[in-house]
Amino acid sequence: MKGNKDDGKRKGGLQVSVLRIGYRPVRDDRMTTHAALVSRAFGAECIYMTEVDPSIKDTIDSVCTRWGRQEFRVKIVKSWKDLARRWKTENPSGKVVHLTMYGININEAIDQLKNESTILVVIGAEKVPREAFDIADFNIAIGNQPHSEVAALAVFLDRIFGGEELAKNFSDARLRIIPTPIGKKVSEVTPDNSG
């Protein structure tokens, strides 16, 4: 995997956090887990969630331990509105981007968004309350058709990071995939082969 950028941390670049609002116990567990996995793999710093099954956090922590990015955090918050307001106060120049099929098409907004330095991406689960639309600086559609918050988040992060996140190696990984056209190759990272 030499040749890939070896860095899970963003140094001075664009910082993206994700806020997952709404959660239907059991029914949304897989989607919530996948939203967290996509956040980690596609370069977000952390994901905030309201009251979820605590095993979701354990699953993600275990992925980070084995596959790297141990700095990635799943943060459980009591109130998504309080979190969004606090985030705005703490990041006065940051922008809240709510992903919704009712918003402005990403193709029209991406150039402007790429100039931002700190973004909180909001994704929903079930029907999203009106306040999410109001609290957002941008309501952005990944196409104006209904699909999924996991798909919307993946496309958004890929667009905003311009695909660079897909080329990263995480320096703290214990396991690393050796890309191969046939079969599976995974190596354990030791002090000798960590570079």
Provide, rounded to whole angstroms, the least separation between the CB of residue 32 and ligand SAM. 11
Nearer to ligand SAM, 52 or 173 (CB): 52
Provide, rounded to whole angstroms, the least separation between the CB of residue 21 and ligand SAM. 8
Q: Which of 60, 64, 119, 152 binds ligand SAM (CB under 6 A)?
A: 152
Residue 28 interacts with ligand SAM (CB under 6 A): yes or no: no
Q: Which of 149, 161, 168, 170 binds ligand SAM (CB under 6 A)?
A: 149
Residues 105-144, mask of contacts with ligand SAM (x by CB under 6 A): ------------------xxx-xx------------xxx-
Residue 25 interacts with ligand SAM (CB under 6 A): yes or no: no
Question: What residue type is assigned to position 110 of the chain?
Answer: I
Provide, rounded to whole angstroms, the least separation between the CB of residue 42 and ligand SAM. 15
Cα gap 109→136, rounded to integer Å: 14
Residues 63-102, mask of contacts with ligand SAM (x by CB under 6 A): ------------------------------------xxx-
Cα gap 80→91, rounded to integer Å: 16
Provide, rounded to whole angstroms, the least separation between the CB of residue 55 and ligand SAM. 22
Nearer to ligand SAM, 64 or 99 (CB): 99
Nearer to ligand SAM, 149 or 165 (CB): 149
- Structure-token pair, residue 26: 């059991």
Give the closest residue to 124 by CA, choosing from 136, 115, 109: 136
Using only the alpha carbons of the chain, give its radius of gyration.
Answer: 17
Do 5 and 168 contact (CB within 8 A), yes or no?
Answer: yes
Cα gap 170→176, rounded to integer Å: 9
Cα gap 122→49, rounded to integer Å: 10
Residue 162 interacts with ligand SAM (CB under 6 A): yes or no: no
Footprint of ligand SAM on this chain (CB under 6 A)? 99-101, 123-125, 127-128, 141-143, 145-149, 152
